[in-house]
Amino acid sequence: MEKKKFEVKIADIDMKIISDEREDIVMRLVSQLDNEITTITKQSRNYSKIDAAILVALEHSSARAKAEKRVRNLEAQIALYDANLRRMREENIKLKNSMLGKVSETAEEIIAEEQLSIEDPAAVEPEEATAEAAHDIAELFEEKEEAVQEEIVEEKPDRANKLRQIESLLRGN
């Protein structure tokens, strides 16, 4: 952004400042600072404008330090949520792969049983046997998928909620 020069008055002291902020923001900050210094000097006649300015600067420095600490804590928390999210996604992939492996093994068993149960292989049309086997495999796959989903829910009932919360935090919602 382009830097601009502003002529301002703070605690009855004229000064020129340079900022890359918009004019309305600069004027709001100048007004706030002027009010804080004026309030301090009116409340305690013992404080000069310089003393009041130093007190205001200390208050603002303290607030900034607290805000920076809060930001660091939030960044650390987000990093932890991100790591947990990554770990849960990896675990989810492993569970899916495990489920697919079990289904694949069962499909192979069904195919093997189907081939053994045919007494006269020449009497059965290949398309008919393949369609029946595919249907059986699809049914079994659905049953296994439901069973694995139930296992996941039983083992980790809050997992889906935690995953949603972490994703929400990472999106800033």
- The whole-number pLDDT of residue 102 equals 73
State the Cα–Cα distance between residues 145 and 152, nearest whole angstrom: 11
Query: Which residues touch 106 (CB under 8 Å, ≥6 apart)?
Result: 137, 140, 144
- Kindly tell me if the per-residue pLDDT of 37 is higher than 80: yes
> Structural domain boundaries of the chain?
4-68, 74-171
Interhelix angle for 49-117 vs 159-171, to 10°?
140
Confidence band, pLDDT 50/70/90 cuts, at residue 96: confident
AA identity, residue 152: I
Least confident range from 11-25, 31-45, 61-75, 114-128: namely 114-128
State the Cα–Cα distance between residues 91 and 85, nearest whole angstrom: 10
State the Cα–Cα distance between residues 79 and 14, nearest whole angstrom: 46
pLDDT per residue as tens digits for the range 111-163: 666 665 555 555 545 555 566 666 666 676 677 666 666 665 555 555 666 66
- Kindly tell me if the per-residue pLDDT of 68 is higher than 60: yes
